[in-house]
Structure 1
Amino acid sequence: MGDRKAEHTASQTELQEIASKISDLNKWRNVFSFHSSEISNSTHQQGDGSTGSGVPGAREPSGLQPPVPLPRSAIPEPLLISPDTGGRPISLEMAMELRKLLFGNVFQLFSCEWAKACFRFREPYSDLAYALETGKGGARAILMAVQAYIIKYLLFIRTTEYSHLERLCRVSRQEQGEALAAALADTLWAAGQGGRASICLITAAIHVVPSSDYKADNFTERIHLFEFSEKAAAQEFILGHINCFKDEQSHGVILFLYSLLFSRTLERVQEDLDSTAAPLLKCSFGNITCTQVCPRLRTPCLPIWLCSITGKYSVLFGTDSQILSDWKRERVFHLYFYNGQLEQTKTAHLTIDTHSHHWEEDQSEDPSSPGKRHLSVEMAIRTKWTGATVSWNGTDPFF
């Protein structure tokens, strides 16, 4: 009888313990349900109130495990500016509109190749001291466009004691930064129609909290915008923060692209794109597909051409500013070619003869023979100077 009573007492004790645990479980379930969170079987954890970026979606009750800290930026601290610098932080609406303009949706992110792209020069005081490294991927188009502005500044705007191609080889590291600042400011000012420029830099603080309607990249959410109504002031500001565009891990090309869009204004960019009903960037293995330019752009004010040859961007330029305005100079003249690739260690020097057509003399030659096959860069030159011959002056032809 005593044994049965002991067993009954033990059973009641176990039932009470189980009931107590169930009560605790229900209490915690209600707490977490109120906060739109979930609880694990054995440990009280933070609810799934974020989009995977580490930013908590709701404040946890007192006494529970603290929220996961905000993710640290992958950008080194020297490249991050203080919020006290001025400007204004990006908003969620701006970030979403920016993403839609670029990709057509708010969930697509830049590839690793884009994230690594920056404005990195070749060695100063070298044959390619003026040149940017472009690598591969879609950012190459932007880099080569800025390269054209850099050449314009170094050849035709700044004053130096050197002449012709030597001007581009005698560039110091300081002058590289100055040329880049001038090129970026010139481009942004043009995008702002000669009246404004916006410059984007990165802060350590996150200004945009991710939501279910926006996928964070831990970069765009840290953008700070600076507005300028004078080109000289914008150029000086860029020069003062030039490392934010040219250092590794700076996301320099994306920063410039954002600055370009905000300088143009997102509304005006949308108007520009309405005729195509397509996003600005076509996501295909990180590449950008660009349109062919109209014929009038083959004759710019200065002899600098941004070329897309066999789908690869490059720059063709001359050092004589009068080539395109004096027909006498177009009989025999010199052009220079840079394709941005590390394999090119010296600027290609091309001599153009617009009156010698020996390549067309033998009409009986098989069109598929080696003598009839011509490099793409030569054919591109002939879209401007029909029938011209191109000499590579000892350089092994490429492109």
Structure 2
Amino acid sequence: LADIIWRAGSGQGVLCLPSKSGVYLPESPQFNQDGVTEKLQLVPFGKWDELVTVLRRYIYIFQEEPGPAVLLLLYSAVLSRGLDRGLTNRSHLVSFKGSISNSVLCLLMTGRASPYLHNGVQYRGDEDNAAVAETGVLIRSPLGLLLWMGNEEKTQAANLGSRLKTPIFPVWLVICCDQTGLLFCLDRALMRDYRNEYNFQLHYFTSSHYQTSETILNISTRGFEETDPELPLSTLDKIIRTK
């Protein structure tokens, strides 16, 4: 949590915590109270160790289930980034359906909100219109992202770049249609040397309430052969192959 907030603020941070009694934003025709937003207290930090200390003191708030953790982290990251910077490089943070956008994913993983998942800057335009710069992920992300949108065509259309597919740490947020999961390796050296990728284990947890224990995958890339296209693959297998 501290890393996400500090990275968004580029060396500073704002931690949003709920007040137990005070209400700072009254309900109005323009604002409906949600039990969290109207009670926010903003605590600014200029030192990393102070942010970590306060987070440890109030970590129980982020562990409540159900609880306000997602809202608090989103508010903290956005305000740490700053509205002046955040508003210039984001689309809508939350869709009309209530789901988070690519901008939020990029903000939380890289510290910079962007609706584009590709590497660097790409230009969109044609002969009749001036090229428009679309700024995606500028640096290798600490955490990774893997997508599966139901079929290969839709998945490729998301234009997910290698800076998210190949993160610094072997941890990937997995989005499969409307379901999310977490894929990770206990060996932190996995991403440092390609030879570590010959044989390794991945652990997978999904947001589905049907999964009561972790899934452990044994991955071997030695002597890799193309799979018979007639044989069905599991969705998780397809997701890993996009990497």
Q: Same fold (TM over 0.5)?
A: yes
Q: Distance in 2 between matches of 1:207 and 1:235?
A: 26
Match of 1:230 in 2: 47
Residue type at the aligned position of 2:69: G
Name the % identity: 29
Q: 1:209 to 1:382 in 2, by over 3 A?
A: closer
SS at match of 1:322: helix
Give 1:149-164 correspondences, 5 Å limit. Answer: none
Stretches of structure 2 that go unaligned for 5 or more consecutive residues are 103-116, 118-157
Q: Is the 8 A contact 2:171 2:185 kept in 1?
A: yes
Q: Distance in 1 between matches of 2:185 and 2:35?
A: 42
Match of 1:349 in 2: 216
Displacement of 1:325 in angstroms is 2.4
Q: Is the 8 A contact 2:78 2:86 kept in 1?
A: yes
Q: Distance in 2 between matches of 1:249 and 1:327?
A: 40
Q: TM-score, normalised by structure 2?
A: 0.68
Which one of the candidate residues 146, 165, 189 is aligned to 2:6? Answer: 189
Residue type at the aligned position of 2:240: I
Q: Distance in 2 between matches of 1:353 and 1:228?
A: 45
1:297 has 2:164 as partner: yes
User: Which structure has the larger Rg over C-alpha atoms?
Assistant: 1
Match of 1:205 in 2: 22
Deviations 1:247-299 (CA, angstroms, capped at 9, x unpaired): 246422212211111111122110112xxxx4210021x32343643123222
Deviations 1:27-71 (CA, angstroms, capped at 9, x unpaired): xxxxxxxxxxxxxxxxxxxxxxxxxxxxxxxxxxxxxxxxxxxxx
Question: Which moved further from structure 2: 347-356 or 244-253?
Answer: 244-253
Quote the RMSD (CA, aligned, Å): 2.2
Q: Is the 8 A contact 2:179 2:207 kept in 1?
A: no
Match of 1:382 in 2: 241
Q: Is the 8 A contact 2:179 2:208 kept in 1?
A: no
Q: Which has the higher contact order (CA 8 A, sep 6+)?
A: 1
Q: Is the 8 A contact 1:305 1:315 kept in 2?
A: yes
Displacement of 1:210 in angstroms is 4.0
Displacement of 1:225 in angstroms is 0.5
Match of 2:100 in 1: 288
Give 1:35-46 correspondences, 5 Å limit. Answer: none
Residue type at the aligned position of 2:8: A
Determine which structure has the larger strand proportion and give its number. 2
Q: TM-score, normalised by structure 1?
A: 0.43
Q: 1:251 to 1:354 in 2, by over 3 A?
A: same
Determine which structure has the larger helix proportion and give its number. 1
SS at match of 2:201: strand
Match of 1:240 in 2: 57
1:333 has 2:200 as partner: yes
Residue type at the aligned position of 2:239: A
SS at match of 2:188: coil
Displacement of 1:376 in angstroms is 2.1
Match of 1:220 in 2: 37
1:279 has 2:92 as partner: yes
Q: Distance in 1 between matches of 2:28 and 2:209?
A: 41
